[in-house]
A and B are shown apart, each in its own frame.
Chain A
Amino acid sequence: RKEVEQDPGPFNVPEGATVAFNCTYSNSASQSFFWYRQDCRKEPKLLMSVYSSGNEDGRFTAQLNRASQYISLLIRDSKLSDSATYLCVVNNYGQNFVFGPGTRLSVLP
């Protein structure tokens, strides 16, 4: 089983739609969780950290369920500029950051 798993998509949604991505991780000792965004042929950039209590940043909401080892990202009111690959990232203290394979999102006009 891969350490971090994501549905690769693609998710094709119309502008204004709400879309949700899921991510599961296998290492129960994982401590830090993030969502990164990667545009085509560019470097990944941090979208948001994921906290146990859940957190929101504008149209983006991240949730963490430690018992199920599951992370989610919800995007409301999708914009064309949200089209990208969304990467789930897990970190264990003192160790490397493990990236999921990514979920591709295309927001259509």
Chain B
Amino acid sequence: GENVEQHPSTLSVQEGDSAVIKCTYSDSASNYFPWYKQELGKGPQLIIDIRSNVGEKKDQRIAVTLNKTAKHFSLHITETQPEDSAVYFCALPDKAAGNKLTFGGGTRVLVKP
């Protein structure tokens, strides 16, 4: 099955600084690369996704970059705010298995005011 590695596992940043989380995968035919945010006591929520026909996608302070050749995609958060503190997961859908998601190990982001 698909193997997804996510780094770092924890990330502490000062408010206003940037945060970058990277995921690498082993072998995927997926053309869809989502990022989920999980706040305490809640389920994961999609915050941004990218399809393989583009290399970068931005949504306000959040961006995702994709390098299919190198098999990695990254989440970038600029001008971090305390409400960005959460656990972030990258994921890969498995087209051969109903698009069930294989998740990275998660990154706990703490934004210090």
| Chain A bound to chain B | no
Residues in A lying within 8 Å of B, measured CB to CB: none
